[in-house]
Structure 1
Amino acid sequence: MSLAVVAPVSACLLGLIVGAYARAFADGFGEHPDAPLREARDALARATRITPLPRRPFVVEIVMAGVFGLVTWRSASGTGGPAAGVGGGVGAGVTLMTAALLYAAAAGVTLSVIDWRTRRLPDVITLPSYPALAVLLAPTGRLGVALLCGLALGAAYAVLWFVRPAALGLGDVKLAGLVGMVTGAAGVNAVILAAVGAHVLGALYAVGLLITGRATRTTEFPFGPFMLGAALLAVVLPVT
């Protein structure tokens, strides 16, 4: 069996375990913490005490497994995705990009779960992810363009936040820089797809809420999951 098959399957199995930890960690975050650092410490302690097995309703574990499998498949394929941008070939794609993509996947799914439930994107996850991604992307030779794209997308979201602070939170601005870094390693077109795709996905969700009568024009909803979903599409799809 080829590495292009074994690697994604193995990543899916790893994702089930990581997803169990991610769900326990995310459960430790509330809407209005009195002490964010203590909250994060307690959430981490809680996560490390669990048995890393999927639990009902299995949603986080399944999503994490699927995302792990997708990004590993794209890296291992070596064509049209991030792997192609760092030299192509199965071996090159796996060794240079997979670690960064898997870290981004784990952090992204965890942030999506927290944001969807609490409408927060905790700094204790987003801010340390900048140096973590920088270290992981450095061996790919794409760190420079990743940093530039992260700065550009973060600046664009900062302008949007300044113009309409009610529509975006500062957490979204900080997340935008990470999205720009990850997609920037895949190419500038991937950054554009992630930026546009986030607003398209968010708009479709808002229209769906309006049509079903579950929201009004003034209803607010977390935007982070749509940013991260669009980033996943930008990394996985063969953008040229």
Structure 2
Amino acid sequence: MTWFTALAVVAMSLAVWLVALPRVRVADPDAPRFGALVSRRSTMWVGATAAAVSGVLWLVPAAHHWLWVPYLAVGVPLVAVDVLTTFLPKQLNHLGGLLMLAGLVPLGLADWRAAAGAVVGGAAALAFFYLAWRVAATLGFGDVRLAALIGAVAGQSGVGAWTSALLAGTLLGALHGIAHALWARRSAGRPKHFPFGPALWLGPVVAAVPHLNGG
């Protein structure tokens, strides 16, 4: 059954990338044409990444798949856009959020504690990153919206998993930031900004690894 679920993640990720992304419009003059990001090469990378991260489905309870599947399936195209453009389109974030919200119903029937943890975790992460956004100029509001999804999927497994996910994502982001700063210093023409979303999004995936979360 998990193999079928993993294949569904890959199929959904490709559908979002090929069908939904070209229809995204952002009211920002600096925003790229998102449809132009879709190519044979980028589609292959999205599919391969979705296949790789879907391995986390074997590490979490089956009931939690109701939130993990949309988190991965929409999250891969979402952070792929961030990598390529430093934009996190709210339309894709909202799509992931709506699918996860729908998944709360069967999750609650199977494990009400996990569903409650997801709701509290999502709200807490949103509030935490909103406060961080207010004081940190380097954090984009797209990262704040993404934090709600991160907190929800991690909160299913309790406070420890929630904390580990946010710490892992923040640490990965810090390491990426240092590496990017060193790379950017080598040429004045290289961009100073870097996408923080992919590192944050990977936090719950990393935290689900048993020897990292204490399991």
Q: TM-score interval w.r.t. the shorter chain?
A: 0.7 to 0.9
Partner residue of 1:209?
180
SS across alignment from 1:121: coil
Give the unaligned 5+ runs of structure 1.
1-6, 48-53, 76-82, 84-92
Letter in 2 for 1:160: A
Partner residue of 1:124?
91
CA distance in 2, matches of 1:56, 1:20: 12
TM-fit CA distance, 1:13 = 3.8
Residues 135, 21 of structure 1: CA spacing in aligned structure 2 closer, same or farther, 3 A cutoff? closer
TM-fit CA distance, 1:65 = 1.1
SS across alignment from 1:220: coil
Deviations 1:26-60 (A, max 9, x none): 7527895469xxx89xx6xxx9xxxxxx9446211
Matches within 5 A, 1:188-227: 188-210=159-181, 213-216=182-185, 219-227=192-200
SS across alignment from 1:28: helix
Partner residue of 1:175?
146
Q: Which of 20, 24, 27 is the equivalent residue of 2:18?
A: 24
Q: TM-score, normalised by structure 2?
A: 0.78
SS across alignment from 1:63: helix
Residues 236, 175 of structure 1: CA spacing in aligned structure 2 closer, same or farther, 3 A cutoff? same
Q: TM-score, normalised by structure 1?
A: 0.70
CA distance in 2, matches of 1:136, 1:119: 28
Q: Which of 101, 121, 126 is the equivalent residue of 1:149?
A: 121
Letter in 2 for 1:157: F
Residues 215, 237 of structure 1: CA spacing in aligned structure 2 closer, same or farther, 3 A cutoff? farther
Give the unaligned 5+ runs of structure 2.
186-190
Q: Which of 72, 89, 93 is the equivalent residue of 2:57?
A: 72
Segments of 4+ in structure 1 off by > 6 A?
Answer: none
TM-fit CA distance, 1:192 = 0.8
CA distance in 1, matches of 2:95, 2:3: 29
TM-fit CA distance, 1:25 = 4.2
RMSD: 3.1
Partner residue of 1:235?
208
Aligned residues: 198
TM-fit CA distance, 1:159 = 1.0
CA contact (8 A) 1:186 1:235 kept: no
Letter in 2 for 1:119: T
Q: Which of 100, 114, 132 is the equivalent residue of 1:160?
A: 132
Q: Which of 44, 51, 65 is the equivalent residue of 1:98?
A: 65
CA distance in 2, matches of 1:132, 1:12: 16
TM-fit CA distance, 1:173 = 0.8
CA distance in 2, matches of 1:179, 1:228: 6
Letter in 2 for 1:222: P
CA contact (8 A) 2:180 2:194 kept: no
Q: Which of the pair has more CA radius of gyration?
A: 1
